Amino acid sequence: MSDLQFSSPKTVKEAVKILSASKGKARVLAGGTDLLVQLRAGRMAGSMIVDIKNIPELRSIKKEKNGFTIGAAVSGAELGAHKAINKAWPGVVEGLELIGSTQIQGRASLGGNLCNGSPAADSVPGLIAAGATCKIAGPKGLRTSKVEDIVLGPGKTSLKAGEFVVSFFLPTRPKRSGDAYLRFIPRTEMDIAVVGASVSLTLDKVGVCSEARVSLGAVAPKPLLVAKAASAIIGTKVDDEALTELSLAASAACDPIDDKRGTVEYRTKVAGVLARRAATIALERARGN
Amino acid sequence: MAKYHVKTTINGDPAEFLCGTEQTVLDCLRDELGLTGSKEGCSSGDCGACSITLDGRLVCACLVLGVETEGKDIETIEGVADGDDLHPIQKHFLQEAALQCGICTPGFIVAAKALLAENPNPTETETRYWLAGNLCRCTGYDKIVTAVMNAAAEMRGE
Amino acid sequence: MADVVIPIEVARSFCEGKTDHRVDANNIRDLVKELSKLYPGIDARLNQGLAVAIDGEIFQDWLLEEVAPSSQVNFIPAIEGG
Amino acid sequence: MGNEKDYLELIDGEKKFRHIGTRPIRPDGVDKVTGRANFGADFTMNGMLHGRVVRSPHAHAKIKSINSAKALKLKGVKAVVTGKDFPTLDPSDKAVGEVTVSFFDMSRNVIARDKVLYDGHAVAAVAATSPQIAEKALALIEVEYEVLKPVMTVSEAMKKNAPILHKGMKTSGVEPTPSRSSNVASRAEFKLGDVNKAFKEADIIVERDYTTQTVHQGYIEPHACVADINADDMATIWSSSQGQFMVRALVAKLLAMNTSKIKVIPSEIGGGFGGKTIVYLEPLAVLLAKKAGRPVKMVMTRDEVMRATGPTSGGHARAKIGAKKDGTIVAGELEMEYEAGAFPGSPVGLGCMTGFAPYNLKDVSCIGWDVVVNRPKAAAYRAPGAPVAAFAVESAMDELAEQLKIDPLKLRIKNAAVEGTQAPYGVKFPRIGCLETLTEAQTTDHYNSPLGPNQGRGVASGFWFNIGGQSSASVMVNPDGTVIVATGSPDIGGSRASMALMAAEVLGIELHNIKPLVADTESVPYSDLTGGSRVTFATGKAVVEAAEDAVNDMKRRAAKIWDVDFDQVEWKDGSACCIETDVHKPMTIADIAAMAGKTGGAISGKANINAKGAGAAFATHICDVEVDPETGHVTVLKYTAVQDVGTAIHPSYVEGQMQGGAVQGIGWALNEEYVYGKEGQLQNTGFLDYRVPVASDMPMIDAIIVEVPNPGHPYGVRGVGEVPIVPPLAAVANAVSHAIGTRMTDLPMSPPKILAAIDAE
């Protein structure tokens, strides 16, 4: 009875054509775990749903020479079953796998989680810390963007009319490098992150941190890349002192809100705690790689 | 407005239905096909009472559009027993009194079946995390977890 | 004479705060009747959402329950359940 | 029935029951594990319309106008109802009986009249040919509001210049009756002895304030019903509720209909916990069906359940306990204010009555204030009012134990209520098992196990009255000797199994030959609703009496056939036997049933009772937690619930009640709460942010059954459903307090609150 249309393009080109023709009234359906909730709540403006899951490129994981390409609509369960990516980027997989229940895992995707524009999206800090990029298709062809440049604020992205994310690229993990994602929720499952923290770091031969990226979720209007937290451990052996500095820098970067999920004070403090704990796990993983 | 004609397989049998874009597969199962075993507790993927499998993958039927299931294989609670023969999980739910009101039971059984298909020997912790998306407000989960683990043991031949 | 205790709020409205009474009656209906002779209007109030406990046994709905001379009778709020 | 004593002798004697205490598969089980069982939303009718409710987006507003013209013009819309379509009721129109209810208020809760009083308050309802059209029509019903300032908390509501929800409402229970309107509906007081004097004699006094938030029952099945009304104005309602007779009575009252014109058919019910002891949709569905001339189905969304159906009260409690150095408590004081929601009627009085009930106290004072706020009207929730009171009292007991350096279980044992103890509400307890739960808890491995760093252990006790009330049962013997047991009590947690077990015990036949069922309002006589932990006790008692009635009937038939006196026949193992002579071979139930036609027609038994003698329930819980000192996250490591259940008819379902109630209480303690925005809109209307415990949050819950038979039931049954939710709030809070070294007095103990408490040290 509604005027809502549905289309299920089979190619990227076809999808771009439909999205462009819809004049901004189309919504992209990947896993649907956010979209359908919005649809049910009557919060979905739009007249067309474009299901991109039948485009092969969006559903495949490819090992490339210098990394992995992951289709934007690959589900958490599918990514979780991919051994090589689990080994190379456990922090990224942890993030996507933490979204919702087993049932949600059957559907939720990296593309959907990113483009929903939530500052608390679990999979985004891991991608940002990993230095992941995404391939975007649109009326003007393909372009590539850093993941941290996509979300602008709650529900807002830098995607232009007719554009959608096709895939993510994760570089090959350097030697002596590791990552980890931790989030805080009040229960053990089923909650939206109150704070999320991801750390990716690389050690040199003597165990000094040569590179690091720290990303925080749910503590600002968008997921953050916190350079100061990273520089707190770069050039150190990631000892307690450095970790304390990282923790303080992470807390200092927070600009959270009070809401039903947490308070400003709480989020600020726990961001530091989780950043330190994630860095510790990443460090252990780096030492093992 | 036009409805979409969707052809699927449900519990092994071909099934066709008409649905509007906004209808979820849960709406289609319950309202169009009369399969009311899958329950609607929240319509937001938070309670798991509508758990089904889609091409073997456990999902919430309330978070899948009917139109998305074209050509897909759907399994619901109605397909878990083989005629009169209850599945071991169903038997253990009865034996262990793993249900009180019973509204969450279909979702739990479908989810538990998916768990044991992937992991025939789950620990208590694995069982609890796998089933975290299925809410039960009556039992406190104790007897549900016991039933699933006992069913797993039986299915392993122990 | 049975020992009768009525709720404080009822006692304040009808009996100048006196909660404890001694009443001669064979059943609750007569007991309430006796009380209302002393405190006019109390019968209607006692009939509004109050249960009665006779020697520890609670009756949500009451009328003809027997009362012994040694009985302890408490009017208490009706108990709802979940 | 006269032979209660005999049964009790059996309990203590050597003879074991044949069925009572066994764990058979429930009779309705297979339907529930195969998806065949029909719940509220599973019923459909030909030509059925779909109803939806227009709900207020404001917490407090005057309704200036409602215009349905545009909605009625939408194709597919068949009817709209508003408050104007409902009969006007008298403000003094109150029901007395099971629960005191104001029909005037209830009618306004079902649909607002001149004012909306909470976010989600029903304003209009619409019926259309599809759910989608009904949904679209909602937006076309134009409601003009004059928004008023909402009053969201007890403390705001009690302020002198607070906006008034109900003009003309004066606080009752205070003398003289105030002249000004107030948001305080009433004051209740219970006292024994002279508490002020007793406090002066105490060596030590602990006193603190405690706060809790609004929480919801959280049943997984949203409210649902189908109503049909035919040309003769005969209404039929299929609905999921805790009482088909309750639905009938309330619909009749709210719509001014004759009771005999309403038939209510109960569906399976997907959880209630007290939340389905009232109507929301049924009167709207009946009116819509009447206007449209077609059946109407109404199903709430989860959002509607959270915003507009009965949660239970949040509130404030101040508990004060005075004790001697040796741990003898001598004085107790409790003052509480509970949110009633938009209309008067919080369970604060029950809180006052229950808080100190586990203890022997001669001097005690409990005062309760019932306060209206712009939140949904509170409905019953498992032991209504008791958990919050127990949170305060049991936390105070824990603090007392700490200060006196006495083991918290020993302190409770020293002061435990026993037979003859006068409860704070004046009544002397008959035989109870409070002490037994405490001593049993003391001997558990759990209580005697060591704790690690950042871990804490808490204990707490709880009391619930349990109620009896009206129940009916029919026992019908089929021609082949199988038996139907019909009652009027919806089966919310497996009670059909218990009914069958009790009937089997009396009849002496195999369980599978008995079919227990929940009948509609025209197939069994009136029964009170399923609530108050009364069904296995009261309806069970009716079933036992009805089964005995049927046995007597069969004994009479056998006597007739054998041409002996009635008292020459005894009933043994499912057969009539002749006592004096062995000339007559025993006749089985099947033999007698086969001859029913020749001996006077169909065989049946019935019992319609108002059950007295409900035995009180006591429980003691032990909880171990670990707190993450850096995040405030609480992990429940181990949990044990000990409870006096009288006699466990089906122990698995008794354990299930204990485990389920404990977990609901743990949720209440840790994460569940209503979160309102500044303007009074509910912020967490779904299970995503209304955080009930999930499977991975919980450990196994050890359920330890203690059996102190209730002399008021033929098999010794006490109600078991409600008391399990009473101790957990304090058990968890005491555990967390010990783990972090600071007393937690504000529920829920969400991680931000715990971390703030740790940091404040």
* Domain CATH number, residue A281: 3.30.390.50
Look at residue D95 in the predicted model and tell me its pLDDT: 62
D723 to D317, D385, D431, D533: CA distances (angstroms): 20, 11, 17, 9
Quick one: D525 and D574 in the same domain?
Answer: yes
pLDDT (average), residues D633-639 = 98
pLDDT (average), residues B9-19 = 97
Do A and C have ≥3 inter-chain CB pairs under 8 A?
Answer: no
Local confidence band at D176 (pLDDT 50, 70, 90 cut-offs): confident
CATH of the domain at A109: 3.30.465.10
- Mean pLDDT of all residues belonging to chain D: 95
Asked if D615 has any chain B CB less than 8 Å from its own CB, the reply is no
Q: Is the pLDDT of residue D5 over 70?
A: no
Cβ contact (<8 Å) for A261 and D687? no
Asked if A102 has any chain B CB less than 8 Å from its own CB, the reply is yes
Asked if D536 has any chain C CB less than 8 Å from its own CB, the reply is no
Longest distance between any two alpha carbons in chain C, whole Å:
37
Cβ contact (<8 Å) for D688 and A190? yes
Chain D residues lying within 8 Å of B96, measured CB to CB: 652
Cross-strand partners of D124: D54, D82
Q: Is the pLDDT of residue D558 over 50?
A: yes
Cross-strand partners of D331: D322
Nearest alpha-carbon partner for B91 in B53, B144, B147: B147
Nearest alpha-carbon partner for A74 in A65, A66, A85: A85
Task: State the Cα–Cα distance between residues D316 and D333, nearest whole angstrom.
Answer: 14
Cβ-proximal residues to A65 (8 Å cutoff; 6+ apart), any chain = none
pLDDT (average), residues D533-544 = 97
Quick one: D422 and D340 in the same domain?
Answer: yes
Q: Is residue A48 part of a domain?
A: no
Nearest alpha-carbon partner for D313 in D248, D366, D249, D387: D387
Asked if B36 has any chain A CB less than 8 Å from its own CB, the reply is no
Asked if B125 has any chain A CB less than 8 Å from its own CB, the reply is no
The model's pLDDT over D718-756, given as tens digits with 9 standing for 90+, comes to 999 999 999 999 999 999 999 999 999 999 999 999 999
* Cis geometry, peptide bond prior to residue D748 (ω within 30 degrees of 0): yes
Q: Strands of D603-611's sheet, edge to edge?
A: D514-518, D483-487, D469-477, D603-611
Q: Is residue D202 part of a domain?
A: no
Q: Is residue A9 part of a domain?
A: no
How far B87 CA sits from the closest chain A CA (Å)?
21
Counting as contact any 3 or more CB pairs under 8 A, the partners of C are D
Q: Which of D671, D675, D756 sits opposite A187 (nearest CB)?
A: D671
Task: State the Cα–Cα distance between residues A77 and D719, nearest whole angstrom.
Answer: 45
Do D and A have ≥3 inter-chain CB pairs under 8 A?
Answer: yes
Asked if B134 has any chain D CB less than 8 Å from its own CB, the reply is yes
Quick one: A283 and A208 in the same domain?
Answer: yes
Domain closes at, from D584, D611, D638: D611
Amino acid at site D527? S
Cα A237 to chain centroid, rounded: 27
Nearest chain D residue to A260 by CA distance is D675
H or E element, residue D19: none
Q: Which of A187, A192, A260 sits opposite D694 (nearest CB)?
A: A187
Domain B4-79, CATH number (from 1.10.443.10, 3.50.50.60, 3.90.1150.10, 3.10.20.30): 3.10.20.30
Q: Which of A6, A37, A102 sits opposite B21 (nearest CB)?
A: A6
Chain C residues lying within 8 Å of D492, measured CB to CB: none
Nearest chain C residue to D609 by CA distance is C61
How far A273 CA sits from the closest chain D CA (Å)?
7
pLDDT (average), residues A185-193 = 97
How many structural domains does chain A have?
2
Q: Is the pLDDT of residue D175 over 90?
A: no
**CATH 3.10.20.30 spans which residues of chain B?**
4-79
Mutation pick from D138, D306, D673, D694 vs chain A, by most beta carbons of A within 10 Å, is D694
Asked if D245 has any chain C CB less than 8 Å from its own CB, the reply is no
Look at residue A204 in the predicted model and tell me its pLDDT: 97
Quick one: A129 and A187 in the same domain?
Answer: no
Mutation pick from A102, A107, A109, A187 vs chain B, by most beta carbons of B within 10 Å, is A102
How far C37 CA sits from the closest chain D CA (Å)?
22
Q: Is the pLDDT of residue A1 over 50?
A: no
Quick one: D629 and D722 in the same domain?
Answer: yes
Domain closes at, from A144, A171, A198: A171
How many structural domains does chain D have?
3
Architecture per CATH, domain B88-155, reads as Orthogonal Bundle (1.10)
Look at residue D11 in the predicted model and tell me its pLDDT: 46
Q: Where are the alpha helices (DSSP H) in A135-263?
A: 227-233, 240-253
The model's pLDDT over D372-411, given as tens digits with 9 standing for 90+, comes to 999 999 999 999 999 999 999 999 999 999 999 999 999 9
How far D531 CA sits from the closest chain B CA (Å)?
14
pLDDT (average), residues D94-106 = 70
Look at residue A103 in the predicted model and tell me its pLDDT: 97
Domain with D717, as residue range(s), is 311-466+615-760
- Among D101-110, D516-525, D669-678, the minimum mean pLDDT is found in D101-110
Nearest alpha-carbon partner for D555 in D514, D510, D600: D600
Look at residue A39 in the predicted model and tell me its pLDDT: 87
pLDDT (average), residues B139-156 = 98
Q: Is the pLDDT of residue D324 over 90?
A: yes
Cβ contact (<8 Å) for A103 and B46? no
The model's pLDDT over B35-49, given as tens digits with 9 standing for 90+, comes to 999 999 999 999 999
Task: State the Cα–Cα distance between residues D671 and D728, nearest whole angstrom.
Answer: 13
Task: State the Cα–Cα distance between residues B122 and A247, nearest whole angstrom.
Answer: 36
The model's pLDDT over C2-59, given as tens digits with 9 standing for 90+, comes to 999 999 989 988 999 999 999 999 999 999 999 999 999 999 999 888 899 998 888 8
Residue A221: half-sphere exposure toward Cβ, Cα within 13 Å: 8
DSSP one-letter code for A234: T
* Cis geometry, peptide bond prior to residue D176 (ω within 30 degrees of 0): yes
Say which residue the tokens 């978070």 belong to: B63
pLDDT (average), residues A28-39 = 93
Task: State the Cα–Cα distance between residues D94 and D100, nearest whole angstrom.
Answer: 7
Quick one: A250 and A188 in the same domain?
Answer: yes
Q: Which of D28, D301, D692 sits opposite B137 (nearest CB)?
A: D692
pLDDT (average), residues D455-474 = 97
Nearest alpha-carbon partner for D265 in D282, D280, D278: D282
Q: Is the pLDDT of residue D101 over 50?
A: yes
Q: Is residue D204 part of a domain?
A: no
Q: Which of B20, B21, B57 sits opposite A106 (nearest CB)?
A: B57
Q: Is the pLDDT of residue D290 over 80?
A: yes
Cβ contact (<8 Å) for A102 and B111? yes
Q: Is residue D596 part of a domain?
A: yes
Chain C residues lying within 8 Å of D354, measured CB to CB: none
Task: State the Cα–Cα distance between residues A203 and D183, nearest whole angstrom.
Answer: 66
Chain D residues lying within 8 Å of B105, measured CB to CB: 32-33
Quick one: A197 and A282 in the same domain?
Answer: yes
The model's pLDDT over A122-175, given as tens digits with 9 standing for 90+, comes to 999 999 999 999 999 999 999 999 999 999 999 999 999 999 999 999 999 999
Q: Is the pLDDT of residue D15 over 60?
A: no
Counting as contact any 3 or more CB pairs under 8 A, the partners of D are A, B, C
The model's pLDDT over A59-101, given as tens digits with 9 standing for 90+, comes to 999 999 999 999 999 999 999 999 999 999 999 999 999 999 9
Q: Is residue A81 part of a domain?
A: yes
The model's pLDDT over D518-532, given as tens digits with 9 standing for 90+, comes to 999 999 999 999 999
Q: Is residue A37 part of a domain?
A: no
Strands B13-19 and B51-54: unpaired
Quick one: A120 and A200 in the same domain?
Answer: no
Per-position b or e across D300-321, b if 16+ CB within 10 A of its CB: bbbbbbbbbbbbbbbbbbbbbb
Look at residue B1 in the predicted model and tell me its pLDDT: 58
Q: Strands of A5-7's sheet, edge to edge?
A: A5-7, A48-51, A26-29
Q: Is the pLDDT of residue D93 over 90?
A: no
Nearest alpha-carbon partner for D428 in C68, C49, C4, C54: C54
Mutation pick from C14, C20, C60 vs chain D, by most beta carbons of D within 10 Å, is C60
Residue A200 CB neighbours (<10 A): 32
Q: Is the pLDDT of residue B78 over 50?
A: yes
The model's pLDDT over D231-259, given as tens digits with 9 standing for 90+, comes to 889 999 999 999 999 999 999 999 999 99
Q: Which of C47, C56, C82 sits opposite D96 (nearest CB)?
A: C47
Local confidence band at A25 (pLDDT 50, 70, 90 cut-offs): confident
Q: Which domains occur in chain C, in start order?
A: 2-77 (3.10.20.30)
The model's pLDDT over A223-256, given as tens digits with 9 standing for 90+, comes to 999 999 999 999 999 999 999 999 999 999 999 9
The model's pLDDT over D423-434, given as tens digits with 9 standing for 90+, comes to 999 999 999 999
Nearest alpha-carbon partner for D211 in D668, D680, D740, D724: D668
Cβ contact (<8 Å) for D468 and C12? no
Write out the catalytic residue numbers of D. Answer: 722
CATH of the domain at D397: 3.30.365.10
DSSP one-letter code for B64: S
Local confidence band at C80 (pLDDT 50, 70, 90 cut-offs): confident
Cα–Cα–Cα angle for B109, B115, B117, rounded to 5 degrees: 105
Q: Which of D29, D132, D701 sits opposite B140 (nearest CB)?
A: D701
Look at residue C73 in the predicted model and tell me its pLDDT: 96
Cβ contact (<8 Å) for A100 and B45? yes
- Per DSSP, the three-state class of C23 is strand
Look at residue D100 in the predicted model and tell me its pLDDT: 60
Angle between helices D651-670 and B142-155 (to 10 degrees): 120
